[in-house]
Structure 1
Amino acid sequence: MEKSESAKIDIPESSRERKGKAPLLGSPVQYARKGGYKRGVAIFDLILRVSAAAAALGATVGMGTAEQTLPFFTQFFQFQASYDDLPTFSFFVIGMAIVCAYLVLSIPFSVVCIARPLAIAPRLLLIILDTVALTLATSAAGASAAIVYLAHNGNSGANWLAICQQFGDFCQKTSGSVVASFAAVVLLIFLVLLSALALRKH
């Protein structure tokens, strides 16, 4: 009876737990590295999101304040150009205002991704809504870019005259707004790519 007790080998409980749980849970070091990598992506996402919101706000304000009245006018008519004279520019202001509002409202979700870098739901929500915002911003910027081109160069085939020689300040504001909107589009593209990168290993 004593021999059987002396021949008995005690296996530490920690070793048995490690053998049973290691294949399922993985190494804590791997999880720390994965979380740190995704947290870095989330911080970069927040920086790009704030920059895109600033670009969209600049585009909205610039186009919304684009207005010029020429100093010469007649008794019955004055020469004035305003963004709301063109439906395309009105759509631009509304569309970029929506994109700007969305980007501001999405900042808390980006902060959640920093605090919980391995969470899937907020990142999945952001990539879907970022894609919608990207579509809206691209359509507004592209349509307005065509109108700005016509304002600068005209179209002899359609008998449309270039107006930027007379309305220089108006054209300068609208052109700057379109450039800012394309900057927002590029930043939104990077935001979608970052979200896809963060979701890639889930």
Structure 2
Amino acid sequence: MSTLYLLHKPYRMLSQFTDDQGRATLKDIIDVPGIYAAGRLDYDSEGLLLLTDDGELIHRISDPRHKQPKTYWVQVEGEPNDKAIDALRKGVALKDGVTRPARVQRLMEPAVAPRKPPIRRRAETKVSWLEITISEGRNRQVRRMTAHIGHPTLRLIRTAIGPWQLSGLATGQWRSETLHAPIKRRSTFSRASRRRS
């Protein structure tokens, strides 16, 4: 039995508990001792981060061999056409190799809180939203994928890692779940009532 913490990481916060440059870290929003992030989320990205004190669980979540799919809501500059969307679905050639096929669909603008600070962009520039699910975790992968098709990422929010969802967590909030089975056959869990904002 393990405890997993689901946290909504804000924009411009490190996915760690210490920093020698005075930047915001996880200790600013979660006060549970002895836990570590299972994987990471870039400083300039938002959304779901998983934490636990169980080293084996961290490995099962973050090791690419276990292929936990990660889903993102991505605001991009411009409006990708069908050809661009299809390229993401098939895999695009980045400097470190061709990406695995991704699940991609267009989104209506999701009901998300405004980012703080807000995104700076030209008023005449159109923007659109995509939902992208990948099964690998290269450095800044989603941003590089959208740049490759000519639509730079403006805002990136991770909404799911495997079976775990961001839903119900406002920016800076977290909740805990007690796992009763390994994640590869995770059939039962209980959600703790403890919740912080």
Band the TM-score falls in, shorter-chain normalisation: under 0.3
TM-score after normalising by structure 1: 0.19
Identify, as 1 or 2, the structure richer in strand: 2
Greater Rg, structure 1 or structure 2?
1
Identify, as 1 or 2, the structure richer in helix: 1
